[in-house]
Amino acid sequence: MATALDFQRMLRGAALRVTRPRTAVLSAVRAHPHADTDTIIGAVRSRLPKVSHQAVYDSLHTLTAAGLVRRIQPSGSVARYELRVGDNHHHLVCRACGAIADVDCAVGEAPCLTASDDRGYAVDEAEVVYWGLCPDCSTAQSS
């Protein structure tokens, strides 16, 4: 369980200033994986009621740019965030309710990271999204 001190170290390690909103955002993202901005704002304000939505947006941008947080945004959804963990995991997204689940990379160690023909692009990341129906929506539809 990461403590406030761990978040401090993460921020300092990325050469970022340690501020209450930022540590609160990191904590909120860890507590609510795949949460949208609104949820994060709510979670942050449960500790620091006076934090503005703009501070949360700024923090999320900064943390994303620093690589501490990962932003994901499936089509048709608002932006969602998760703590960047070094592993190469991907996401299952429910077409019906938008639920997101983590899934390890399909074939071992980053198999899809190299395109068959990169068209001259300098690729630094491959993102995989599996679309389908989550168990709940699946049973709801068939019944």
* Residues within the interface to a second copy (CB under 8 A): 71-73, 75-76, 79, 90, 92, 94, 101, 103-107, 111-112, 114-135, 138
Alpha carbon distance 112, 107 (integer Å)? 8
Alpha carbon distance 96, 78 (integer Å)? 15
15 vs 122 by CB, closer to DNA:
15
User: Binders of DNA: how many residues, by CB under 7 A?
Assistant: 25
Segment interacting with DNA, rule: CB under 7 A, options 10-18, 27-35, 84-92, 102-110: 10-18
Smallest distance from a second copy to CB 34, Å = 13
Alpha carbon distance 118, 115 (integer Å)? 6
* 72 near DNA, rule: CB under 7 A: no
Q: Are 127 and 90 in contact (CB under 8 A)?
A: yes
Q: Are 55 and 20 in contact (CB under 8 A)?
A: no
Among a second copy, DNA, none, residue 16 binds (CB under 5-8 Å by kind): DNA
> Phi first, then psi: what are they for 103, rounded to 5°?
-150, 140
Smallest distance from a second copy to CB 66, Å = 15
Segment interacting with DNA, rule: CB under 7 A, options 27-35, 52-60, 106-114, 120-128: 52-60
50 vs 119 by CB, closer to DNA:
50
Q: For residue 111, what is the enclosing H or E element?
A: none
Retrieve residue 122's tokens: 């300098």
Alpha carbon distance 126, 10 (integer Å)? 24
Among a second copy, DNA, none, residue 78 binds (CB under 5-8 Å by kind): DNA
